[in-house]
């Protein structure tokens, strides 16, 4: 079954799914499948209130369960030393926003910027890119609404669009496209505002304005009316962002103190010039590698509508075995290159200690039951998806094998050790899903897969969850 011209790829996917389901129906419920009084009695009898049960029950009545289940012996078994690490930098703070992908990506380049500027510390403006990220995503949303305007509002794709107007989240390719188009500026040229650090308010207003436009576009009678509605919505989106974030500079004068505390003379830059002068890394040289056990390896994929700029490609990646990710990350760190990565950050991690370690919460002993899932089962049950991005800045090796990884986060200095986290290697095995590395580290056979045509995944694919999370 072919979709009509101009309809998004996910409409074809839905058609294929409908055909594959055929006339299948759910098996109707049966009386014997209900929780009967006899079954309830059996369950109650199995829940014996012995001394251990009462001890845990009393604790849970007064204390958060994670504190009761915390395995202090495991926590204290991990030291904070690393055999190979990059110099520490002051960590950044994304505050109450989902900009981890942007903060961590800018953190990859700020070391190079500080070296080129001969400065002890340097930080890019996240607010500057945040402005354009929101503006470009507004346009992506409006264009998708225009393409799907003839589909019913109950269509899954249309429903997804209405539920996902302009989120904070993003990915590496989106970052690359934004920097390529708009460049970067120093943080003091466009510093944070309350709204850029606390985005819920501006997100709500922007989403409402875009939904108003969406309803009007879907009811429009001709192309001229649609074009007028889109243009006004983009103008209003710009105004909302300008009021909340400020107006981004197209040119700026800037000076700074170098590492010898000498004040440099003023220099004038455009944001694109500034990127090329202080970083000078080829953005296309960095590629995203995922390890998704529910998808075939050594294949290229893209996610429909997962983009930061409308006229640029969807987010795409090559899927490969986990050992490949680990080997490439190790090679980069031993070459003193930081590594951008994505993971399921809330899984088995202690935020205040900055420790990511399987079994750190011993719920199995507390509840006396099996709570284990394999890496593949975690994906199949939607228990592990990339919801946070950070940067690897160190690795601890024993006999050449990784024991743990040093992680630069973007949650400020309070969590962990001045904002740095420690990840054990077995946590990597379970919860790390993506890394970004330069081409020169990728073996030729794997690199060639990036030249193949990607298979398109729908926008509600689990990997898309990264757009709406920290």
Any domain includes 425 = yes
Instruction: Using DSSP, state whether 394 is helix, strand or coil.
Output: strand
Give the chain's mean pLDDT: 90
CA distance 252 to 183: 12
- One DSSP character per residue, 168-202 reads S---HHHHHHHHHHH---BTTTS---HHHHBTHHH
Confidence (pLDDT) at 384: 85
- Average pLDDT (4-11) is 44
Q: What residues are paired with 287 via a beta bridge?
A: 437
Q: What residues are paired with 423 via a beta bridge?
A: 356, 405
Any domain includes 43 = no
CA distance 465 to 109: 25
> Residues 100, 320, 332, 343: which is the catalytic one?
100
Confidence (pLDDT) at 26: 59
User: What CATH number should be reported for the domain holding residue 105?
Assistant: 3.90.70.10
CA distance 73 to 77: 6
Residue 388 among the catalytic residues: yes
> Residues of the chain with pLDDT > 70: what percent?
93
CB 459 within 8 A of CB 466: no
Name every residue whose Cβ is closer than 8 Å to that of residue 351 and which is 6 or more positions away in sequence.
411, 415, 416
- Average pLDDT (109-131) is 93
Any domain includes 193 = yes
What would the pLDDT profile of 277-326 be if each residue is shown by its tens digit?
998 878 889 999 999 999 999 999 999 888 889 999 888 999 999 999 99
Any domain includes 63 = no
Confidence (pLDDT) at 10: 45
The secondary element (H helix, E strand) that includes residue 272 is: helix 271-278
Any domain includes 37 = no
The secondary element (H helix, E strand) that includes residue 316 is: strand 315-319
Backbone dihedral angles phi then psi of residue 277, each to the nearest 5 degrees:
-80, -35
Confidence (pLDDT) at 78: 94
Any domain includes 406 = yes
Confidence (pLDDT) at 25: 53
Any domain includes 73 = no
Q: Of the ranges 10-19, 74-83, 135-144, which one carries the lowest mean pLDDT score? A: 10-19
Instruction: Using DSSP, state whether 343 is helix, strand or coil.
Output: strand
Instruction: Evaluate if residue 71 carries a pLDDT over 70.
Output: yes
Instruction: Evaluate if residue 23 carries a pLDDT over 70.
Output: no
> Residues 127, 316, 388, 389: which is the catalytic one?
388
Residue 198 among the catalytic residues: no
Name every residue whose Cβ is closer than 8 Å to that of residue 266 and which is 6 or more positions away in sequence.
253, 254, 255
Alpha helices, DSSP H, located in 288-356: 322-334
Predicted structure pTM score: 0.90
Helix, strand, coil percent content, the chain, rounded in steps of 5 = 45, 15, 40
Any domain includes 364 = yes
* DSSP tag of 139: H
Length of the chain: 470
| Pairing assessment for the beta strands 355-356 and 420-424 based on DSSP bridges | parallel
CA separation, residue 287 to residues 91, 195, 469 (Å): 24, 32, 22
Domain that holds residue 262: 84-468
Residue 343 among the catalytic residues: no
CA nearest neighbour of 322 among 422, 238, 430, 218: 430
Instruction: Using DSSP, state whether 456 is helix, strand or coil.
Output: strand
Structural domain count, the chain: 1
């Amino acid at each position: 079954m072919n979709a009509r011209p101009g309809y998004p790829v996910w409409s074809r996917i839905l058609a294929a799914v409908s055909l594959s389901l055929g006339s299948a129906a759910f098996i109707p419920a049966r009386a014997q499948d209900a929780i009967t009084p006899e079954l309830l009695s059996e369950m109650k009898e199995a829940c014996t209130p012995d001394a251990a049960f009462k001890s845990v029950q009393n604790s849970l009545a007064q204390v958060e369960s994670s504190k009761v289940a915390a395995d202090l012996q495991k926590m204290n078994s991990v030291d904070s030393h690393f055999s190979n690490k990059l110099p520490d930098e002051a960590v950044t703070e994304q505050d109450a926003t989902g900009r981890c992908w942007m903060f961590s990506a800018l953190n990859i380049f700020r070391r190079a910027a500080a070296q080129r500027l001969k400065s002890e510390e340097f930080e890019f403006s996240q607010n500057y890119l945040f402005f354009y990220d929101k503006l470009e995503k507004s346009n992506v949303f409006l264009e998708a609404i225009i393409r799907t305007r003839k589909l019913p509002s109950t269509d899954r794709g249309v429903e997804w669009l209405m539920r996902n107007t302009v989120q904070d989240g993003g990915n590496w390719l989106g970052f690359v496209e934004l920097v390529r188009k708009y460049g970067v500026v120093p943080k003091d040229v466009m510093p944070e505002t309350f709204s850029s650090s606390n985005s819920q308010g501006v997100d709500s207003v922007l989403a409402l304005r875009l939904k108003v436009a969406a309803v009007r576009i879907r009811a429009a009678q001709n192309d001229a009316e649609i074009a007028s509605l889109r243009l006004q919505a983009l103008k209003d989106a710009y105004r909302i962002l300008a009021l909340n974030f400020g107006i981004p500079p197209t040119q700026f004068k800037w000076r700074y103190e170098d590492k010898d505390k000498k004040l440099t003379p003023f220099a004038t830059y455009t944001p694109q010039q500034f990127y090329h002068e202080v970083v000078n890394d080829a953005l296309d040289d960095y590629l995203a590698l995922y390890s998704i056990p529910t998808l075939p390896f050594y294949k290229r994929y893209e996610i429909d509508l997962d983009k930061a700029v409308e006229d640029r490609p969807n987010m795409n990646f090559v899927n490969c075995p986990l050992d490949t990710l680990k080997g490439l990350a190790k090679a980069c760190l031993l070459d003193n290159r930081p590594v951008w990565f994505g993971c399921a950050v809330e899984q088995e991690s202690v935020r205040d200690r900055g420790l990511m370690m399987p079994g750190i919460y011993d719920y199995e002993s507390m509840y006396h039951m099996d709570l284990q899932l394999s890496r593949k089962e975690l994906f199949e049950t939607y228990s592990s998806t990339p919801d946070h991005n950070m940067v690897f800045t160190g690795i601890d090796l024993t006999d050449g094998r990784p024991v743990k990884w040093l992680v630069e986060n973007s949650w400020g200095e309070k969590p962990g050790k001045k904002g740095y986290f420690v990840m054990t290697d077995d946590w990597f095995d379970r919860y790390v899903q993506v890394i970004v590395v330069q081409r020169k580290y990728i073996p030729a056979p794997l690199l060639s897969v990036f030249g193949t045509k990607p298979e398109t995944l729908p926008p509600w694919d689990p990997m898309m969850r990264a757009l709406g999370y920290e």
